[in-house]
Amino acid sequence: MTLSRRQMAWRAAQDIAEGHYVNLGIGLPTLVSDYVPASREVVFHSENGILGMGPAPQPGDEDKDLINAGKGLTTLLPGGAYFHHNDAFLMIRGGHIDLSIMGAYEVSERGDLANWATNSDRLAPGVGGAMDLASGAKEVRVLMEHNAKDGAPRLRRRCTLPLTGRGCVTRIYTNLAVLDVTRDGLVIREMIEGLDLAKLQALTEPALSLANDWRRLVAPDL
């Protein structure tokens, strides 16, 4: 049984450290903020000029001038601040953001990231803040389905799609596993029940290895 999108977000949230300033990409990573352990104080950054971003508003508390990077309504927590775009990206580019969690189309075994262009001649590509985050955040982690809808591997020896950043990804959370990008390639840290190295390898293009202390990836029902 593969992880649901919410379970994937939960797993990524468990690794966010106390006190970190974190930027969540649009789409699936946005869910991560719902699952940070309550004992940890984490400050979420939004590229449109917010630090201390909170959850989606309760009915009646919506403010049309307060949105997140995905253009959805959001809230500001006590201690939060507004600032303009240049400062928002100065924080990213200047290395002030501890962690970026982004979605991706593909990640290579060297940590190259492809998440901005699909080579479609029908739909325009859009980079948004992805390249700034890829080169500027202190650490970049990816949250994505292990395989494309047609089953094609999204973990690649080399990315087939245009790069967002080179060698920037350190850890990948998928619906099947948690993998680290190392000098020796991709290392499995966790796998869901029912998988072994051979089965996961069959779903992945580059060679995988298993961490000595690997464990089962078990998420709560969400």
Partner 1 sequence: MIDKRVPDFAAALAGLKDGQTILCAGFGAVGEPVALIEAIIETAVRDLVVVCNNAGSGLTGVAALLKAGRARKLICSYPRSTDPQVIDALYAEKKIELEIVPQGTLSERMRAAGAGIGGFFTRTGAETELARGKELREIDGQLHVFEKPLAGDFALLKAHRADRWGNLVYRKSARNFNPVMAMAGKVTVAQVSEIAELGALDPEAIATPGIFVDRVVVA
Q: Which is nearer to partner 1, 76 or 187 (CB)?
A: 76
- Active-site annotation holds for 139: no
Cβ of residue 43: shortest distance to partner 1, in angstroms? Answer: 16
Those residues with Cβ within 8 angstroms of residue 23's Cβ, 6 or more apart along the chain or in another chain: 44, 45, 46, 47, 92, 97, 99, 100, 101, 129, 133, 137
Q: Which is nearer to partner 1, 125 or 194 (CB)?
A: 125
Q: Tell me, what amino acid is at 19?
A: G
Cβ of residue 27: shortest distance to partner 1, in angstroms? Answer: 13
For residue 131 the two structure tokens come to 């390249």
Cβ of residue 131: shortest distance to partner 1, in angstroms? Answer: 4
Cα distances from 132 to residues 1, 78, 169, 220, in angstroms, run 35, 27, 13, 33
Binding site for partner 1 (CB under 8 A): 46-50, 63-67, 71, 76, 82-86, 88-90, 92-93, 122-132, 134-136, 162-166
Q: Which is nearer to partner 1, 4 or 83 (CB)?
A: 83
Among residues 18, 47, 190, 205, which one is catalytic?
47
Contact 100, 91 (CB under 8 A): no
Catalytic residue numbers, as ranges? 47
